[in-house]
Amino acid sequence: MKKRSLIVSAVAAGCALGVALPRQAWAAVSDEDFNALKSMVQKLGDQVQKLEQVHEQDQQVHQQDQQKIQQLQQQVGETQQIATNAVQKAEAAAQLQPVHALPPGAGATHNFQLAGDAETVFGRIQGQHSAFAQADFAPIFLYRANDNILFEAGFDFLLSNNAPTAPGTAYGFDLSFATIDYLVNDYMTFVAGNMLLPLGTYSERSAGWLNKIPDNPLPRGLLPGTGLGAQLRGAVPIGDQGQMLTYSAYGVNGPSSVDGTGNSGSLDLGGNVGVLSGATSYPRQYGYGLTGTTFSTLGNLNSNPSGGGRLGWFIPWKPHYDLEVGVSGQSGQWNNLGEQWSAVVLDAALHVSPYVEIKGEYINTWVDTADLGGIRPNGWWVQAGYKLSGLNLDFPLINNVELVGRYDRSDDGLVPGNTKTERYTAGFVYYFSNTLLFEGDYEWLHSVGPASNIFPNNEMLFQVSYGF
């Protein structure tokens, strides 16, 4: 702009000078000077023209900038409007929020997870031909709704051999447990549904790949494995070295009577959901758990729940060196005559180094019956294991072996005429990996009494287990 003014001023000054000069001076300008001046004026004119073109271009750019500024201002206005609307909507939505706000923190709040185990058993019972006895698939479905709520359900798909009493195989489907767990606080969890009962510790730790022997201890048949009801459980730490007190208290429908009578032979330890259709065909010793999927009624024989609980004390003094002791019990009416079924279980487990484990339970039950009066089925078992890797031998195969032994005994308490059974078991576990196990054992069984025929003779069992 200044340049242009200077040039215009120079031209104007030149013109004025030409007009103002006296005639003599005009007359004195030669053609050569005139041409030089003319040329200079033409050059100045060209420069002015170029500057005007540049100026026009600058003005166009300026206009485009103005348009962009207007567009941006318009967009800012729209954005402000959107933000204002969003704030209004958020304020309106906040008034409609549920009582429980969404949990803070990153990561998905929901997760679905599958765990469980699978087994195949090969057996040979004395006096019978050997055979693959059963195949079992026991998945556990876990659904985490948030940090405090978990739904878990365990199933048991079982294919077993009917021999020697019937041809073919039997297929079983069992809902082992199904619970909703709500973590009330750091020390208490509320559990509701079909629960593994904390009578001792065996029920909650008896998955095929956890138990180091393919079958269950004899006296576990005197107890219900599951119960339909609700439970409060938790732990209180003692110090910061891992020691803790654990507790559980529950109320369940409890054992029932298969036919409504109070006779000793009608006790149904799996009778949590009413009278079970056709369940009289199941011997009492095998009557725990849900033995079928068809129920004649969902009503209970009485309105009194069966209550129970467990108190445990876990004392570790360093990793792999610990002692756990517990006492548990359950009591409740089991028929419609007001008669009672009760149980007390003492349990203990000891680990001395990563290689040695000893555990066991003492089980005592009391059953009021209409035909035999009060009877006292009872039993106990103890099991020990030693991992040969503790010997520090330079044999890789040997280092994967754990030797196990068990002694168990039970008394059905049907006095007079009770049946007493005891069994010695010796076996091994070979660890292909931490989850793939091969177990084998031989069991020497001796039973005396009227019901001794329901127990198998000596037998040899092999089992492949996989935990996932």
> Smallest distance, Å, CB 183 to other proteins?
8
Question: Which among 52, 67, 61 has a CA at the least distance from the CA of 1?
Answer: 52
Of the pair 246, 418, the CB lying nearest other proteins is at: 246
> Smallest distance, Å, CB 384 to other proteins?
14
Of the pair 150, 451, the CB lying nearest other proteins is at: 150
Distance from first CA to last CA of the chain, Å, rounded?
A: 84
Question: Which among 284, 276, 278 has a CA at the least distance from the CA of 300?
Answer: 276
Of the pair 26, 317, the CB lying nearest other proteins is at: 317
Task: DSSP for 40-54, please give it.
Answer: HHHHHHHHHHHHHHH
Of the pair 233, 423, the CB lying nearest other proteins is at: 233
Paired with 465 in beta bridges are 119, 437
Specify whether the CB–CB gap between 467 and 209 falls below 8 A. Answer: yes
Question: Which among 201, 202, 208, 112 has a CA at the least distance from the CA of 153?
Answer: 112
What's the token pair of residue 47? 């420069």
> Smallest distance, Å, CB 180 to other proteins?
11
Of the pair 172, 305, the CB lying nearest other proteins is at: 305
Specify whether the CB–CB gap between 293 and 276 falls below 8 A. Answer: no
**Measured CA distances, 428 to 148, 298, 434 (Å):** 40, 44, 15
Of the pair 149, 163, the CB lying nearest other proteins is at: 149
Of the pair 183, 382, the CB lying nearest other proteins is at: 183
> Smallest distance, Å, CB 236 to other proteins?
7
Strands, E assignment, 107-208: 111-125, 131-146, 149-161, 169-185, 188-196
**At 350, which helix (H) or strand (E)?**
strand 340-352
φ, ψ of residue 281 to 5 degrees: the values are -75, -10
Of the pair 134, 189, the CB lying nearest other proteins is at: 189
> Smallest distance, Å, CB 205 to other proteins?
5
> Smallest distance, Å, CB 408 to other proteins?
19
Of the pair 48, 346, the CB lying nearest other proteins is at: 346
Using a 10 angstrom Cβ sphere, with 0-12 exposed, 13-18 middle and 19 or more buried, the burial of residue 127 is: exposed
> Smallest distance, Å, CB 69 to other proteins?
50
Distance between CA atoms of 288 and 267, rounded to whole angstroms? 10
> Smallest distance, Å, CB 181 to other proteins?
5
> Smallest distance, Å, CB 238 to other proteins?
6
Each residue of 326-336: b (16+ CB within 10 Å) or e?
bbbbbebbbbe
